[in-house]
């Protein structure tokens, strides 16, 4: 029995230690973005592998994420479509695996991801749109509503259209307790959407 307890303790300690140091390594890889962009792509893929292995159940994972929000913002804003695509996939996967536990981390990335939508590079625009759909589908957080509602007034037609789509999605899928805090904001955003110059934005707002 004592050997089993020792083994379990060693396994638990090793996982926590590994997660903490692996996230530190990922953060170091992001700092090399001016030299080796492939290293950052590999780091993003390895981070998804860590989540797949169950790292999300450890508090160390959530604490470590706080150190990565700036590197992720830089990656989402990168000029290389490969980096942006991998960053968006990882953000979507984080939302899927961690749900509401990642809401603070995801909140810092919403605007940079939304800013990808009108990008002339189709890969970047599509990555941003799909990422947002996954985030809204998997993470119900009132923190997201002010960002989404404010973008209904964006100068970009594509941003306005898709933010109306995202609001339609969350209004049909989120629990009511996540919406109560910002009812007035939502009502105002819907009014703006209904009066939008873009027919698709009006259609989503009317739903």
Q: Where are the domains of the chain?
A: 1-139, 142-207
Cβ(48)–Cβ(61) below 8 Å: no
**Which of 13-27, 40-54, 62-76, 131-145 has the weakest average pLDDT?**
13-27
Question: 171-176, long-range: CB within 8 Å, 24+ apart, which pairs?
Answer: 172/207, 173/136, 173/137, 174/136, 174/140, 175/140
Banded model confidence at residue 34, pLDDT cuts 50, 70, 90: low
Q: Show the tokens assigned to 52.
A: 């797949």
* Cα dihedral 158/162/167/172 (nearest 10): 150
CATH fold of 142-207 = 1.25.10
Q: Do domains 1-139 and 142-207 have the same CATH topology?
A: yes
Q: Which residues contact 123 (CB under 8 A, 6 or more apart)?
A: 81, 84, 85
Q: What is the mean pLDDT of the chain?
A: 84
**pLDDT of res. 46:** 83
pTM of the full predicted structure?
A: 0.85
Reference 72, options 107, 101, 117, 98; nearest CA is 107
Q: Which CATH number fits domain 1-139: 1.10.560.10, 3.50.50.60, 3.30.56.10, 1.25.10.10?
A: 1.25.10.10
């Amino acid at each position: 029995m004592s050997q089993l307890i020792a083994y379990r303790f060693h396994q638990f300690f090793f996982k926590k230690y590994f997660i903490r140091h692996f996230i530190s390594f990922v953060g170091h890889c992001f700092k090399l973005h001016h030299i080796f962009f492939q290293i950052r792509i590999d780091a993003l893929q390895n981070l998804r592998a860590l989540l797949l292995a169950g790292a999300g159940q450890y508090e160390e994972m959530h604490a470590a994420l706080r150190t990565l929000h700036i590197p992720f913002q830089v990656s989402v804003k990168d000029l290389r479509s490969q980096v942006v695509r991998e960053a968006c996939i990882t953000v979507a996967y984080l939302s899927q695996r961690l749900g509401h536990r990642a809401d603070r981390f995801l909140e810092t990335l919403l605007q940079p991801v939304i800013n990808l939508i009108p990008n002339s590079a189709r890969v970047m625009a599509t990555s941003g749109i799909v990422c947002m759909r996954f985030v809204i589908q998997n993470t119900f957080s009132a923190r997201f509503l002010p960002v989404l509602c404010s973008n209904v007034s964006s100068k970009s037609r594509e941003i306005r259209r898709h933010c109306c789509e995202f609001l339609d999605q969350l209004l049909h899928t989120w629990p009511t307790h996540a919406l109560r805090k910002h009812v007035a904001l939502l009502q105002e955003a819907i009014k703006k959407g209904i009066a939008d110059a873009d027919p698709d934005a009006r259609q989503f707002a009317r739903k």
